[in-house]
């Protein structure tokens, strides 16, 4: 299987962002105070607009974000990168938007990964026979038809693997069983585990699912093979089975597994979707709201990232309904192929690189749409001061917290790293990683009232930033 250098670089950039998030986030209250002068008075004048948007979403628009998301999820289900169902769902969103009278819509084509999961079975053969629940990780290679039968070596971290000799690991299946601390700290075992195990001679790699909670539920996710290394099959297993294997291993039992995993991998053409509500004074200037439309092949992508997709769809729709046209253009982007490496975001940044100076602010929701709490913001101190002042207008819905994050968002991190200020939705998502990348990502995770609050908050924040007399400073 061929993995390009560009794919590896893209993934490493993403990985470094993920690893740093947990360490760099601070609440704004921990840092120095703001002094933004007359801008604070201008921001305060938007209190009536904020109330109008909140009241509208709680009134005529009540439940619409949830209802439209439910129709979408029920119709299409999972929307994997490169699949026909993803393309059909893009067409659906375009038509849904046009039906609302928002017609300034374009799509931009790009090549995306198309990894298709086949049959997957793991059977414990020793010390007893047991079926092991699994989900192969993105881009994993297949096993031979007869599968791979080998003994398991269990390690809790990369240091333990490195300490083992080549002969200790050669020909074995490596199981990583780190205890979940945070996603940013623990996900490295999923993303890099196969490569590091292969370097030590392993024939396959497994990882304890990256989650703090499980009901025998494996969690999939992306991984990328490093260069100049044998590509070995890799999968996630449940917390329960990983802990079982660890107990057996620690007792000195020989644990032997047979792994059968099959998949295909090629590329297809997909599209980023761009929707504009043109500004009345500075239409070339952009405030972007966004979410990704693709999902993993398990679950229905309701939470990851259907909620983020639909609050970003709703923002221009609500503003048009209320006849609120900001000074700058409000742009809504539905990113494609986020799950397999931010592919749509990289394509957009490359295509629009010469226009990046026109991006005033960029926003993304991709960590749940539970009760909004505020924004996680990247940018200069002055930029954060202005956003903090805007967030004061949302104390009535408990959404006034600013979290400082040097690389907010997933897709938008590609653009933020070029110097554009931006933010991701900060919400009460303590249970997000319970369902993340599992069969449990369904409409049952979403709450209509919380989704309404996210919709109102997202729309009003975007409007204010797009309408301010000043640009957000870089």
Cβ atoms within 10 Å, residue 252: 6
C-alpha–C-alpha distance, residues 11 and 436, integer Å: 19
C-alpha–C-alpha distance, residues 149 and 409, integer Å: 40
Contact 135, 118 (CB under 8 A): no
Contact 304, 295 (CB under 8 A): yes
Helix runs in 77-208, H state only: 84-99, 158-163, 166-169, 183-186, 188-199
Q: Which residues are catalytic?
A: 338
Residues 6+ apart with CB under 8 A from 128: none
Contact 303, 437 (CB under 8 A): no
The closest of 470, 471, 466, 222 to 363, measured between CA atoms, is 466
Contact 207, 102 (CB under 8 A): no
Residues 6+ apart with CB under 8 A from 84: none
Contact 329, 286 (CB under 8 A): yes
Residues 6+ apart with CB under 8 A from 291: 305, 307, 308, 309, 310, 311, 312, 334, 335, 364, 365, 366
Contact 469, 37 (CB under 8 A): no
The closest of 123, 150, 128, 122 to 253, measured between CA atoms, is 128
Contact 302, 246 (CB under 8 A): no
C-alpha–C-alpha distance, residues 66 and 449, integer Å: 9
DSSP strands (E only) in 305-461 = 328-335, 359-364, 372-378, 401-404, 422-427
DSSP string across 288-313: EEEEE----SSS--IIIIIHHHHHHH
Report residue 5: phi and psi, to 5°. -60, -40
Which CA distances in Å does 81 have to 10, 145, 342?
Answer: 16, 26, 11
């Amino acid at each position: 299987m061929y993995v390009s250098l560009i794919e590896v670089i893209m993934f490493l950039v993403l990985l470094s962002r993920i690893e740093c998030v947990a360490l760099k986030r601070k609440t704004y209250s921990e840092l120095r105070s703001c002094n933004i002068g007359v801008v604070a008075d201008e921001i305060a004048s938007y209190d009536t607009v904020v109330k109008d948007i909140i009241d509208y979403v709680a009134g005529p628009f009540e439940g619409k974000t949830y209802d439209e998301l439910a129709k979408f999820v029920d119709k299409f289900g999972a929307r994997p990168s490169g699949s026909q169902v993803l393309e059909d769902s893009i067409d659906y969103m375009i038509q849904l938007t046009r039906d609302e009278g928002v017609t300034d819509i374009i799509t931009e084509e790009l090549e995306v990964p198309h990894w298709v999961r086949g049959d997957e079975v793991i059977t414990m053969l020793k010390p007893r026979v047991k079926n092991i629940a699994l989900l192969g990780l993105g881009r994993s290679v297949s096993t031979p038809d007869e599968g791979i039968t080998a003994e398991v070596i269990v390690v809790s971290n990369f240091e333990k693997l490195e300490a083992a000799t080549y002969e200790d690991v050669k020909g074995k299946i490596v199981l990583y069983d780190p205890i979940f601390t945070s996603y940013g700290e623990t996900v490295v075992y999923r993303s890099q585990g196969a490569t590091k195990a292969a370097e030590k001679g392993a024939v396959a790699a497994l990882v304890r699912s990256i989650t703090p909670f499980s009901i025998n539920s494996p969690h999939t996710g992306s991984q990328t093979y490093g260069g100049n290394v044998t590509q070995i099959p890799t999968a996630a297993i449940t917390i329960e089975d990983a802990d079982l294997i660890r107990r057996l291993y620690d007792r000195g039992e020989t644990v032997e597994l047979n792994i059968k995993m099959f998949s295909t991998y090629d590329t297809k053409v997909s599209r980023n979707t761009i929707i504009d509500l043109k500004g009345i004074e500075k239409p070339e200037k952009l405030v972007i709201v966004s979410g990704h439309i693709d999902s993993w092949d398990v679950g229905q992508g309701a939470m990851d990232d259907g909620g983020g997709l639909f609050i970003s769809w709703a923002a221009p729709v609500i503003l048009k309904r209320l006849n609120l046209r900001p000074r700058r253009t409000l742009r809504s982007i539905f990113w494609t192929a986020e799950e397999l490496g931010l592919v749509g975001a990289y394509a957009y940044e490359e295509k629009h690189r010469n226009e990046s100076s026109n991006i005033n602010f960029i926003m993304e929701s991709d960590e749940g749409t539970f009760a909004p709490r505020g924004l996680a913001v990247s940018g200069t101190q002055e930029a954060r001061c202005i956003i903090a002042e805007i967030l004061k207008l949302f104390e009535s819905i408990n959404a006034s917290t600013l979290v400082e994050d040097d690389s907010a968002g997933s897709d938008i991190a590609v653009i933020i790293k070029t110097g554009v200020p931006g933010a991701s939705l900060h919400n009460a998502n303590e249970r997000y990683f319970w369902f993340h990348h599992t069969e449990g990502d369904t409409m049952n995770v979403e709450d209509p009232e919380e989704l309404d609050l996210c919709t109102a908050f997202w729309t009003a924040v975007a409007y204010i930033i797009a309408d301010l007399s000043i640009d957000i400073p870089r």
